[in-house]
Amino acid sequence: MMKALLFDIDGTLVNSHGLGRRAFEDAILNVTGIPVDMSTVDWYGRTDYDIVAKLLEEKNISSGMEEKINSIFKNFVIHFRDYAEKYSNAISVFPGVKDLLEALSSRCIGLVTGNVMEAAYIKLEKAGIKNFFPYGIGGFGNEKRERHLLVPIALERMKKYYECKDFSDVFIIGDSPRDIECAKKNNAKSLIVATGRMNKDELAQYKPDYIFSSFEEKEKIMNILN
């Protein structure tokens, strides 16, 4: 049986330098008429669903919340695509990512990301790594509020796409404590890189199964994933 490799995006594969914040500010203002400052929001490892729902709750917007969240996501994608085109150099891939993905190109790869699905693939495209990830194969931040609930969704899609009844192991590959928690809640293994907000020593306190400074440690990582 094959191993399922589920990648996070922001802080793990790419750095989008705050483009999502600006697009969400525009989208929330357009849908609700309320200005928000997304620079004060803790994004680290959270889903876009959780971030937007929490903001609406704080603004005491409860009526028709699901409809408003979906409208915000649709509006957000339009703004994010525009920003990504205008500031295309703002989205960059981390060192070692392309080499690792090349080495894993024949493997069962998917996504578990806090990003809205359309925005996820815009980021991957601008970073030059979209071709490594089959479209829609993963769990996305517009689908569930809690990150760990995205894993079963991703695995079902991967089983159909890769024509695999089951996987010998599931790896959650990310950069945050929430990725580690996500793995534990799904009896999966966490492989963490210290390319996001926290350094290696800080992340080690959350007891991931494997931790690396970056994907530049390709040979060591491949020994685990093989």
Per-residue pLDDT of 48-59, as tens digits, reads 999 999 999 988
Judge whether residue 62 has pLDDT over 80: no
Secondary structure, 3-state, the chain: CCEEEEECCECCCEECCCHHHHHHHHHHHHHHCCCCCHHHCCCCCCCHHHHHHHHHHHCCCCCCHHHHHHHHHHHHHHHHHHHHHHCHHHCEECCCHHHHHHHCCCCEEEEECCCCHHHHHHHHHHCCCHHHCCCCCEECCCCCCCHHHHHHHHHHHHHHHHCCCCCCEEEEEECCHHHHHHHHHCCCEEEEECCCCCCHHHHHCCCCCEEECCCCCHHHHHHHHC
Query: With bands split at pLDDT 50, 70 and 90, how would you rate the model's confidence at 92?
Result: very high
Query: With bands split at pLDDT 50, 70 and 90, how would you rate the model's confidence at 64?
Result: confident
Q: Does domain 3-15+93-225 have CATH number 3.40.50.1000?
A: yes
Please give the average per-residue pLDDT across 114-126, as a whole number.
97
Please give the average per-residue pLDDT across 149-156, as a whole number.
98
Q: What percent of the chain has pLDDT over 70?
A: 100
Q: What is the pLDDT of residue 60?
A: 87
Judge whether residue 88 has pLDDT over 90: no
Q: What is the pLDDT of residue 172?
A: 98
Judge whether residue 61 has pLDDT over 90: no
As annotated, the residues of the chain forming the CATH 1.10.150 domain(s) are 19-88
Please give the average per-residue pLDDT across 157-180, as a whole number.
96
Architecture of domain 19-88: Orthogonal Bundle (1.10)
Judge whether residue 39 has pLDDT over 90: no
**Separation between Cα atoms, residue 103 and residue 217, nearest integer Å:** 12
Query: With bands split at pLDDT 50, 70 and 90, how would you rate the model's confidence at 63?
Result: confident
Query: With bands split at pLDDT 50, 70 and 90, how would you rate the model's confidence at 84?
Result: very high
For 173-184, write each residue's pLDDT tens digit.
999 999 999 999
Q: What is the pLDDT of residue 4?
A: 98
Q: What is the pLDDT of residue 180?
A: 98
Q: Give the gyration radius of the chain's Cα atoms.
A: 17
For 196-224, write each residue's pLDDT tens digit.
999 999 999 999 999 999 999 999 999 99
Please give the average per-residue pLDDT across 81-108, as a whole number.
95
Q: Model's pTM, two decimal places?
A: 0.96
Q: What is the pLDDT of residue 1?
A: 79
As annotated, the residues of the chain forming the CATH 3.40.50.1000 domain(s) are 3-15+93-225
Q: What is the pLDDT of residue 56?
A: 92
